[in-house]
Amino acid sequence: MIDLKRLRYFVAVAEEAHFGRAANRLGISQPPLSEHIQALETSLNAKLLFRTTRSVSLTVEGEALLKHARAILHDTDRCQEIVNASRQQNIESLTLGILHAHTYTFLPGLLRSYFARHPAYRVHLVEYSTTEQVGKLLEGVIDIGLVREPIYHPSLRTQRLFSERYAVAVPDTWDIARKKTLSVRDLGGRSIIGYPSHDHRRSTQSLFRDFFHQYAVNPSDRFEVKTMHAALALVAAGCGFAPVPRSQMVLQLAGVAYRPFREPSPELSVGLAWREDKASPLVAEFVQLCQTHFAQPPRRGRARASS
């Protein structure tokens, strides 16, 4: 019977083409490694390697064994995975679509609440934009999604969870960054860096065009990038200011200062979306938990956001 450890050692030597590098990779000294390879050759009655003082190459027999050895080790490594999968077949699991900003704002607190109530359940998180989530819901790839509203589709049901106002991200080198709050009029004559929404009426450019008009504010220039995080990179570089959800202020970035508006700024809303014809008890339970979770006053440190 061939020793699996020796096969693993052989694969390491073959891939590194050097006994010294293979020994470092395996965390052993070189003499025992050489002994194990020699023992493997003896057990197979074949020469597997050509050895020189500088490198190692495979014989024809060694080339044939390498492919087979990799397959054996791959199957061996999967044994624990297969056992775990069989153990979890009866565990309830939910595939949840999320937006990138959710991961560092409200999602951790929401999942803590969920697992406190259902410690044996599993949640698979997959990151998609709101537009992508609509498609993934219809395809059955995800069970339910945390999305930015509004969502309009006859096969989907939605539930608003919360709304929040926009704040503004400015370069920390600007003089107005010294203020604790900003008036929209402080932004006149400066460049706005916006980003799109799945609903063009809710893009930052659209929302803030009306907001600026209301207060007779005229930005000097307008830029649009694909994501809020790209906008923040330009803010940090001193290129302009960017509207952000207020909960985004928890994300600290070098060169960026977040400030709330004194005036009532535009709002955005976060909700759930799911297929009405696929509303399993697990989905209904998750919807109910989310409603309860967000109906509570936010605790200090529990942020909410959308992007």
pLDDT at 101 (0 to 100): 86
Same domain, 149 and 173: no
Same domain, 255 and 109: no
The last residue of one of the domains, among 71, 86, 101, is 86
pLDDT at 219 over 80: yes
Q: How many CB atoms lie within 10 A of CB 27?
A: 6
For residue 222, being part of any structural domain is answered with yes
pLDDT digits (tens, 9 = 90+) for 19-34: 999 999 999 999 999 9
pLDDT at 203 over 80: no
Same domain, 149 and 278: yes
Same domain, 157 and 273: yes
Same domain, 201 and 134: no
Domain with 147, as residue range(s), is 90-161+269-295
Q: Are 56 and 49 in contact (CB under 8 A)?
A: yes
pLDDT at 181 (0 to 100): 96
Q: Are 265 and 246 in contact (CB under 8 A)?
A: no
pLDDT at 55 (0 to 100): 84
- 0.75 exceeded by the pTM? no
Same domain, 234 and 249: yes
What integer is the mean pLDDT of 176-195?
Answer: 95
Same domain, 262 and 274: no
Same domain, 263 and 276: no
What integer is the mean pLDDT of 181-203?
Answer: 88
Share of the chain above pLDDT 90, in %: 68
Average pLDDT, the chain: 90
pLDDT at 104 over 90: no
Share of the chain above pLDDT 70, in %: 95
For residue 300, being part of any structural domain is answered with no
Cα separation, 290 vs 20, whole angstroms = 56
Residue 197 confidence class, pLDDT cut points 50, 70, 90: confident
pLDDT at 259 (0 to 100): 97
* DSSP class per residue in the chain: ---HHHHHHHHHHHHHTSHHHHHHHHTS-HHHHHHHHHHHHHHHTS--EEE-SS-EEE-HHHHHHHHHHHHHHHHHHHHHHHHHHHHTTTS-EEEEEE-GGGGGTTHHHHHHHHHHH-TT-EEEEEE--HHHHHHHHHHTS-SEEEEESP---TTEEEEEEEEEEEEEEEETTSGGGGSSSB-GGGGTTSEEEE---SSGGGSHHHHHHHHHHHTT---SEEEE-SSHHHHHHHHHTTS-BEEEEGGGGGS--TTEEEE-BSS---EEEEEEEEEGGG--HHHHHHHHHHHHHHHSPPPTT------
For residue 99, being part of any structural domain is answered with yes
State the CATH number of the domain containing residue 31.
1.10.10.10
Same domain, 105 and 191: no
Which tops the pLDDT comparison, 301 or 88?
A: 88
Q: Which amino acid is at 134?
A: V
The last residue of one of the domains, among 29, 61, 86, is 86
What integer is the mean pLDDT of 208-212?
Answer: 91
Residue 89 confidence class, pLDDT cut points 50, 70, 90: low
pLDDT at 300 over 60: no
Distances in Å between the Cα of 154 and the Cα atoms of 72, 259, 284 are 50, 39, 19
Residue 306 confidence class, pLDDT cut points 50, 70, 90: very low
Query: Two tokens at 104?
Result: 């560092």
pLDDT at 271 over 70: yes
Same domain, 152 and 275: yes
Residue 299 confidence class, pLDDT cut points 50, 70, 90: low
For residue 175, being part of any structural domain is answered with yes
What integer is the mean pLDDT of 106-119?
Answer: 93
What integer is the mean pLDDT of 105-118?
Answer: 93
pLDDT digits (tens, 9 = 90+) for 129-175: 898 999 999 999 999 999 999 888 999 999 999 999 999 999 999 99
For residue 168, being part of any structural domain is answered with yes
Same domain, 274 and 153: yes
- Residue 283 has φ and ψ, to the nearest 5°, of -65, -45
pLDDT at 307 over 60: no
Q: How many domains does the chain divide into?
A: 3
The sign one gets for the Cα dihedral 263, 268, 269, 270 is negative
For residue 261, being part of any structural domain is answered with yes
pLDDT at 88 (0 to 100): 64
Residue 201 confidence class, pLDDT cut points 50, 70, 90: confident
